[in-house]
Amino acid sequence: MASPSHHVMSSHLLFLIFIFLLYASLKANCQNPSNFSCPSFKCGDGTSINYPFWHQEQETEYCGYPGFGVLCSSQRPILHLSDHRYYVESIDYSQHTMILAYTELDATCPRAMHNVTLKSSPLLSYGTDEKMLIFVYNCSVYPASPPPVACLRHGIKQSFVFLLGSVPDFDWYENCETIVSVPVMGDAVNGVMINGYDRALQEGFRLTWQPDGVCQLCEATGGFCKYGLNQTFSCICSDGQHSSNCYNNDATGAVILFCVVILGGGFYLVRRHKLALQHLGFSRLPTSQKL
């Protein structure tokens, strides 16, 4: 006759097999299909542009995130932010970061031509190490220090470059024509940036991205986010398109899967703990005592 411990172990094994089969059946509908992937492309021999970025020539629908359309210009990838163009220098898909470079830099005297804003791309944010440079142009009156940038002089008017947080106390808006702020990578700046700002501009700046809520659910279930006319959303899965995610268009499957794994794992650990205590108690009984 089988011992109680044997029955307990058998029940545990059957329960784990049940959990595995249920997990596999739920997961089967949300795996990225081997024959499907969002299209990728290159602009010349440069950086490979993959999901969640997409080719901007796709005007009716695209597989990726809103505002992540990339255009090829002179064999270089271009990303638009608030109607301004930036070169895509590199993309780290595992860290969700990219480095953009300014497209309008004068080789002999680099300067920021306009503010950098992310209003048109709410899924983007500056990297944690980014710094802001403040360009103050064409000042008719200015303090005696710090020194102006020589190549930016315009007649009797002078221009300055500062690091945000190190701008001297002065009424720059009243006495200067234009003030522009742009991000640069933190390791490229030093001091108040009177000298060396050109190298910081040339290295560009880093952005990070994250999907919105509906896209997070789609990707968490193994799908790709797709947008069509009027920004209508769909989730591309191994068995076709769904309205929100790969679990039959709602989060029920994901919730069930999570609960089953958690409850099943908890049940297994509790039962195993009880069995261990029982064995510990048995080992302390005299060998002559009947069980």
Q: How confident is the model at residue 37 (pLDDT cuts 50, 70, 90)?
A: low
Residue 208 has pLDDT above 80, yes or no: yes
Q: Distance (Å, rounded) from C-alpha 282 to C-alpha 230?
A: 70
Say what the pLDDT of residue 25 is: 47
Query: Quick check: 197 and 217 in contact, CB under 8 A?
Result: no
Query: Quick check: 53 and 60 in contact, CB under 8 A?
Result: no
Higher pLDDT, 231 or 219: 219
Which residues are CB-neighbours of 28 under 8 A, at least 6 positions away? none
Query: Quick check: 151 and 170 in contact, CB under 8 A?
Result: no
Q: How confident is the model at residue 119 (pLDDT cuts 50, 70, 90)?
A: confident
Q: Distance (Å, rounded) from C-alpha 185 to C-alpha 207?
A: 10
Say what the pLDDT of residue 11 is: 56
Residue 278 has pLDDT above 90, yes or no: no
Question: CA geometry: angle at 89 spanning 83 and 95, to 5°?
Answer: 100
Distances (CA, A) of 256 to 41, 154, 218: 38, 68, 16
Say what the pLDDT of residue 230 is: 81
Say what the pLDDT of residue 270 is: 43
pLDDT (tens digit per residue) in 42-95: 998 878 899 999 998 866 789 999 889 999 998 999 999 988 999 999 999 999
Residue 259 has pLDDT above 80, yes or no: no
Say what the pLDDT of residue 195 is: 61
Mean pLDDT of 181-187: 90
pLDDT (tens digit per residue) in 131-170: 999 999 999 999 988 889 999 999 999 999 998 888 999 9
Residue 261 has pLDDT above 70, yes or no: no
Token pair of 251 as six digits: 């989060």
Mean pLDDT of 99-115: 92
Say what the pLDDT of residue 93 is: 94
Upper half-sphere CA count for residue 64 (Cβ side, 13 Å): 23
124-126 and 205-209 beta bridge pairing: antiparallel
Number of Cβ within 10 Å of residue 18's Cβ equals 12
Say what the pLDDT of residue 181 is: 94
